[in-house]
Chains A and B, each alone.
Chain A
């Protein structure tokens, strides 16, 4: 335990409005002690955390007091801290202390604390609070069990680790795409007095430049820092951009002739050109306009009517320096569409350049060896050739998935399955294993070039597997918009749902406690059992309270819950018997 105690300056208040008494708050694992600065004052607190039932704290804000309220069965203790960070620290400590003392304060007053001390950071705490706020059902459960003392805070969240983790990791992992904006025409800022202009480059912009202009990227890797400094490099780059923007090809060519580094930026991008050549071979043949040139005999030089396009023929020596704004736009859009290929957070330009270069190489190599893409493209053409509304949708007929009400989906599946018999297969494990081996060797030979399972087969398997679900859904309510629950009075409905979720929660904890290895678990199980046995009669009550016409349906709903509870009770009793038998043998064992 790193900090077994916390000592902070704080004011003790009897109520929120109370100006409070200055003093020192000292918290240890078991208790907290408040000593006023003025020893003459009678207020002196020494309270065990065992007695504290919960804690509240004020919202963080600039001009608000940092309050912490520790609630007891009767009355409460309010402390005001000097700042929020102190408060956070104490609050976390309190939360932990209450949990552990709650556990300790269980029926078995053993000292052993089974769960490791969970030191909550304020961020974690906040996430939990946020989750509770977002999900009213969770909040209800939390209130019922944690505040109600059936489960401890830690236990409650232990089963929801995923919820906490997933949320956190998803937030962190979402990648931001590239911006749609183009940065090529970043306006330089000028100071208005001299002829100097200033460009502001951000890592984001550099990333974009490198992604869109492989030649610049390559030049950076070649030149910086051996040949020139980073600053010089970018100066030259912007100089080249400026020359382009003037659209004076002749001037650009002249400048390039003098400065070979500058020429790299001015010339057309050779890497890009080779990439383009690769890509054009894989393009959808129904779009491939380049192929048309092969059949165009009227526009061989000198033939056909002179069109607009042949107008601006440029002398060959300037040809490498031609680059149009329109090309830049296309290139930019293509890069944005590709998305962020590398995940480099650093601002180090060189790392970015290298990462981009290597990711490009991998991508090209992958594309070159990919013949699956080709097959897919052919399929696409076939699909595109069909006129969609002249024929029924392609089979197998699949109901569009409607999120609004899952019953629609299951019902339609049921209708389809109506006639087909269930595919029954009894396979011994060796048969299944053998078949699996055959498949694996097949895959080794053929490769995973295609969807491994035929869509039709997959659908069939899926149907067979979900048949039970769909049939029960189907039988329950023909009308998808009206379930049994909806026919019940809303009070009963809500009660049922509440009981259902709480039973779920309790059972989850109950079963996860077995086998009982420590006395802590033993205590937990008995707590859980008590809570469940409280719910049991309530369910019976509901069953009897409803009117006779819907009683049958309600009992259908309640029955599985009761069964689940019965099973749990039976297990508990059995275990209890075993335990008592054992304890006879080992009198010095667990209590």
Chain B
């Protein structure tokens, strides 16, 4: 068992060589030869196995290299569809169930496509939602790349790398030890800003970053050799060479064949403006796990302002005015030079030294006008007074006692009439602030986030006239006694943020395990896909077992509906369900709750009634908290507990970070329980405003959208249990509302097709019985290829045969 799992470390072969070369006397030859024979044999065996079995097949004119011995039929048809949309140079929308190897199918087809058409290489921009998914994708790409190299040789060489912020790439121990991203960014700037380095040349006591200096010195020689680099690999490489991995990666992104980075590097104009500006049109953009892409888009263009923000902004303004006074006394020429530059227009980003860049304008690139900054904010002190007035105005607006909602146009008019700041001035706020901070040589940018937020807000509100609304709430609806005023600029139109991506790149692929109903996404994102398909899963055996549990063991209905939510009977029934399951299901169980507050309440109630104690006697309990560090460690421990056989339960929250991107495949998750329907908080003003916008603009009914949104989250949660067809898992939807057809039918097809009629309305005892049966059945050995009837694993011969019969599809 263990023998096969131990992977040989890379330096092992060199070790054997070392043994050989260190043998000076012939006496030693024999033993080393013996070892070498072993090595040689095992190596040649490996090679033989690889070249014999791994797949290489044709899809029309493209030779696809697939690093496995077999392929699932749906992966094959996925590749065909993908290839068609690449050929058509259009966008596509592909839904394929989790656990069918989407990622490798995507990577394998797109890299093979490039290899087949060397004259017209396409660049792949692969967007993941999280850094850990980035690492997983790059690990798969490594596997694929190795196979391609073995097969084609040096021609298959490519450069693929992951890109992240300084916090994840920095190797300077003094900088990276800072607490959060902004402090790391600021720490880096303090060492690498152009003016700091200029001072350091004269005064050796001023600290600089040795990694950055060496990278700068290497100049054009600082390149990454071809290969696949995870963030970890980049850090190791940077340390080895003494070059800054962050700036190296930023530089190499332009030349890389594959770039894996976060969604926001393309969707959030603040980041995309600096990172993704120079990507060529002949790129394929992939958004993986894109079921939430509309939310990412609207969040990228939303800003919220609280009292603390305004107070912080005032402090920032005071600090800046002190700085201005200081400069006036010592270096008045600097301020004048800035003024002149502003007269000529803002074109500052192109020639900025590398270390000076920071977040770009929050508005989309096409919306920023290339013109001179308005005269009345060109002088630094004038600009500051404009900002002061704006902050003062916002403070006044926050004093309101009623909820207010208005559009950007009304808001801008009101700003103009009250404090005399017009739309154009608002629009230029962000760039003007940026310019000023550079002039004032401010390096501790993390201290100035508040004023930055205000300027973001001003620029957005000054730029857009539709698709946004400004909502001012004096207190949280759920806690009316605590005054907590907030002013939110909320974007309702997801298509705004993604529009430049669709326009700029020839192919955009949006894919996920849950994109149902698939016709809704083109409307939400406002694009025309050339291919839009949903694939089902061909299963060798019924390895997923979804159930709807509507009643507890006492036959009373269970639900997280508002009126039932805090009913002790429901809490008890949920507890008994979990308790029964922990004694039946081996290894890992994952539970999803509808919100943090609900989870907190129910865990406390289980603790008081002793249910938690009983659960703990069976399995260890780990919980997702709002602290990511703690959650990460809890997950790590959860996996350890599953690995060592102790078994564990993980409590998590739908829409939470864990539900977004952590897999609970294999023994890490044999059962998922979704407690309740994860509806959004429907009384939220922002949601109401968005629903209204959707109804007016796209004719999407509120109820439909809410159900769609809740069920895609639920499907996403439960879909994390399956990783391959050899895997198996159960899914329990524990809420009576799932029995209703209008709710249930919004689940993706691959879940619905396994949801048997008999499993639609279960009580706890019946569910336990089904679980027992299912687990017993799954524990039996089975034929992986699917046996007689329909094949669920295709070998190379199968594919060749199929290609003979043209047009055969699944």
Query: Is B740 among interface residues, defined by CB-CB distance under 8 A?
Result: no
A329 to B49, CA, bound (A): 48
B-chain residues with CB within 8 Å of residue A308 when the two chains form the complex: 595-597, 681
Which of A9-17, A151-159, A374-382, A472-480 contacts the other chain?
Answer: A374-382
A182 to B612, CA, bound (A): 10
Q: Is the CB of A454 within 8 A of B12?
A: yes
Q: Is the CB of B625 within 8 A of A382?
A: no
B-chain residues with CB within 8 Å of residue A457 when the two chains form the complex: 35, 38-39, 42
Which of B406-414, B631-639, B700-708 contacts the other chain?
Answer: B631-639
A-chain residues with CB within 8 Å of residue B630 when the two chains form the complex: 276, 327, 330
Q: Is the CB of B165 within 8 A of A295?
A: yes
Nearest chain A residue, comparing its CB with the CB of B75? A390
Q: Is the CB of B3 within 8 A of A294?
A: no
Q: Specify which of A301, A334, A400, A434 is in contact with B28 (CB 8 Å cutoff).
A: A434
Chain A nearest CB, measured from B453 CB (Å): 3
Query: Is A257 among interface residues, defined by CB-CB distance under 8 A?
Result: no
Query: Is B19 among interface residues, defined by CB-CB distance under 8 A?
Result: yes
Chain B nearest CB, measured from A563 CB (Å): 34
**Chain B contacts with A in 35-54, Cβ cutoff 8 A:** 35, 37-39, 41-42, 45-46, 49, 53-54
Q: Specify which of B4, B30, B38, B644 is in contact with A395 (CB 8 Å cutoff).
A: B4
Q: Is the CB of B164 within 8 A of A333?
A: no
Q: Is the CB of B69 within 8 A of A305?
A: no
Q: Is the CB of B30 within 8 A of A427?
A: yes
Interface string of B100-135 (1 = CB under 8 A from A): 010010000000000000000000000000111101
Query: Is B519 among interface residues, defined by CB-CB distance under 8 A?
Result: no
Q: Is the CB of B450 within 8 A of A302?
A: yes
B-chain residues with CB within 8 Å of residue A541 when the two chains form the complex: none
Query: Is A123 among interface residues, defined by CB-CB distance under 8 A?
Result: no
Interface string of A269-303 (1 = CB under 8 A from B): 00000001101100111111111111111111111
Instruction: Specify the main secondary structure of chain B where it touches its partner.
Output: helix
Query: Is B71 among interface residues, defined by CB-CB distance under 8 A?
Result: yes
A-chain residues with CB within 8 Å of residue B623 when the two chains form the complex: 326, 329-330
Q: Is the CB of B42 within 8 A of A396?
A: yes
A277 to B176, CA, bound (A): 13
Q: Is the CB of A396 within 8 A of B302?
A: no
A-chain residues with CB within 8 Å of residue B54 when the two chains form the complex: 391
B-chain residues with CB within 8 Å of residue A176 when the two chains form the complex: none
Assuming the contacts A296-B264, A375-B9, A454-B12, asked whether A305 and B135 have C-beta atoms less than 8 A apart, the reply is no
Chain B nearest CB, measured from A541 CB (Å): 46
Query: Is A64 among interface residues, defined by CB-CB distance under 8 A?
Result: no
Assuming the contacts A294-B131, A294-B168, A333-B641, asked whether A400 and B1 have C-beta atoms less than 8 A apart, the reply is yes
Q: Is the CB of B300 within 8 A of A294?
A: no
Chain A nearest CB, measured from B13 CB (Å): 10
**Chain A contacts with B in 40-76, Cβ cutoff 8 A:** none
Q: Specify which of A302, A330, A383, A427 is in contact with B303 (CB 8 Å cutoff).
A: A302
Give the size of the chain A interface in residues (CB under 8 angstroms): 90
Assuming the contacts A280-B632, A283-B633, asked whether A181 and B617 have C-beta atoms less than 8 A apart, the reply is yes
Q: Is the CB of A333 within 8 A of B620?
A: yes
Q: Is the CB of A386 within 8 A of B143?
A: yes
Interface string of B476-514 (1 = CB under 8 A from A): 101000001010101000000000000000000000000
A299 to B182, CA, bound (A): 12
A544 to B165, CA, bound (A): 86
Query: Is B31 among interface residues, defined by CB-CB distance under 8 A?
Result: yes
Assuming the contacts A285-B231, A324-B625, asked whether A379 and B31 have C-beta atoms less than 8 A apart, the reply is no
B-chain residues with CB within 8 Å of residue A334 when the two chains form the complex: 633-634, 637
Nearest chain B residue, comparing its CB with the CB of A456? B42
Query: Is B424 among interface residues, defined by CB-CB distance under 8 A?
Result: no
**Chain B contacts with A in 257-290, Cβ cutoff 8 A:** 261-262, 264-265, 268, 270-271
B-chain residues with CB within 8 Å of residue A294 when the two chains form the complex: 131, 164-168, 181, 184
A228 to B304, CA, bound (A): 51
Nearest chain B residue, comparing its CB with the CB of A389? B726
A-chain residues with CB within 8 Å of residue B182 when the two chains form the complex: 300
Q: How large is the interface on B (under 10, 10 to 19, 20 to 34, 35 or more residues)?
A: 35 or more
Nearest chain B residue, comparing its CB with the CB of A441? B22
Query: Is B763 among interface residues, defined by CB-CB distance under 8 A?
Result: no
Q: Is the CB of B8 within 8 A of A454?
A: yes
Interface string of B639-667 (1 = CB under 8 A from A): 11100101010000000011001100000
Assuming the contacts A285-B231, A387-B68, A391-B70, asked whether A379 and B7 have C-beta atoms less than 8 A apart, the reply is yes
Nearest chain A residue, comparing its CB with the CB of B68? A390
**Chain A contacts with B in 366-415, Cβ cutoff 8 A:** 375, 378-379, 381-398, 400-401
Q: Is the CB of B31 within 8 A of A435?
A: yes
B-chain residues with CB within 8 Å of residue A195 when the two chains form the complex: none
Q: Is the CB of B309 within 8 A of A302?
A: yes
Query: Is B298 among interface residues, defined by CB-CB distance under 8 A?
Result: yes
Chain B nearest CB, measured from A186 CB (Å): 11
**Chain B contacts with A in 1-30, Cβ cutoff 8 A:** 1-9, 12, 15, 18-19, 22-23, 25, 27-28, 30
Assuming the contacts A287-B636, A297-B359, A425-B30, asked whether A292 and B657 have C-beta atoms less than 8 A apart, the reply is yes
Nearest chain A residue, comparing its CB with the CB of B686? A305
Chain B nearest CB, measured from A257 CB (Å): 23
A-chain residues with CB within 8 Å of residue B793 when the two chains form the complex: 389-390
Q: Is the CB of B620 within 8 A of A180?
A: yes
A-chain residues with CB within 8 Å of residue B140 when the two chains form the complex: 385
A564 to B22, CA, bound (A): 48
Q: Specify which of B6, B453, B616 is in contact with A180 (CB 8 Å cutoff).
A: B616
Interface string of B136-161 (1 = CB under 8 A from A): 10011011000000000000000000
Max chain A CB contacts within 10 Å: which of B268, B597, B633, B640? B633
B-chain residues with CB within 8 Å of residue A277 when the two chains form the complex: 629
Nearest chain A residue, comparing its CB with the CB of B33? A425
B-chain residues with CB within 8 Å of residue A494 when the two chains form the complex: none
Chain B nearest CB, measured from A430 CB (Å): 7
Q: Specify which of B42, B136, B658 is in contact with A381 (CB 8 Å cutoff).
A: B136
A390 to B105, CA, bound (A): 12
Q: Is the CB of A398 within 8 A of B1?
A: yes
Q: Is the CB of A276 within 8 A of B143?
A: no
B-chain residues with CB within 8 Å of residue A305 when the two chains form the complex: 298-299, 302, 304, 488, 490, 686
B-chain residues with CB within 8 Å of residue A438 when the two chains form the complex: 19, 22-23, 28, 31-32
Assuming the contacts A301-B453, A382-B139, asked whether A388 and B232 have C-beta atoms less than 8 A apart, the reply is no
Q: Is the CB of A434 within 8 A of B68?
A: no
Assuming the contacts A283-B636, A288-B632, A396-B3, asked whether A389 and B784 have C-beta atoms less than 8 A apart, the reply is yes
Query: Is A165 among interface residues, defined by CB-CB distance under 8 A?
Result: no
Assuming the contacts A286-B136, A287-B132, A288-B132, asked whether A337 and B640 have C-beta atoms less than 8 A apart, the reply is yes
Query: Is A136 among interface residues, defined by CB-CB distance under 8 A?
Result: no
A-chain residues with CB within 8 Å of residue B744 when the two chains form the complex: none
Query: Is B449 among interface residues, defined by CB-CB distance under 8 A?
Result: yes
Chain B nearest CB, measured from A92 CB (Å): 43
**Chain A contacts with B in 342-356, Cβ cutoff 8 A:** none
Q: Specify which of A288, A302, A311, A378 is in contact with B449 (CB 8 Å cutoff).
A: A302
Query: Is A258 among interface residues, defined by CB-CB distance under 8 A?
Result: no
Interface string of A564-580 (1 = CB under 8 A from B): 00000000000000000
Which residue numbers of B lie inside 8 Å of A, CB to CB?
A: 1-9, 12, 15, 18-19, 22-23, 25, 27-28, 30-32, 34-35, 37-39, 41-42, 45-46, 49, 53-54, 68-72, 101, 104, 130-133, 135-136, 139-140, 142-143, 164-168, 180-182, 184, 230-232, 261-262, 264-265, 268, 270-271, 296, 298-300, 302-306, 308-309, 359, 449-450, 453, 456-457, 476, 478, 484, 486, 488, 490, 595-597, 599-600, 603-604, 607, 613, 616-617, 620-623, 625-637, 639-641, 644, 646, 648, 657-658, 661-662, 681, 686, 723-726, 784, 793
Identify 10 residue pairs between A and B in the complex whose beta-carbon atoms are under 8 Å apart, listed by A's number.
Answer: A185-B607, A289-B661, A291-B164, A292-B130, A308-B596, A326-B599, A337-B640, A390-B72, A393-B4, A454-B38
Besides A286-B132, A306-B686, A456-B42, 9 new A-B residue pairs in contact (Cβ under 8 A), listed by A number: A298-B264, A300-B182, A302-B456, A308-B597, A333-B648, A384-B139, A396-B4, A430-B27, A454-B8
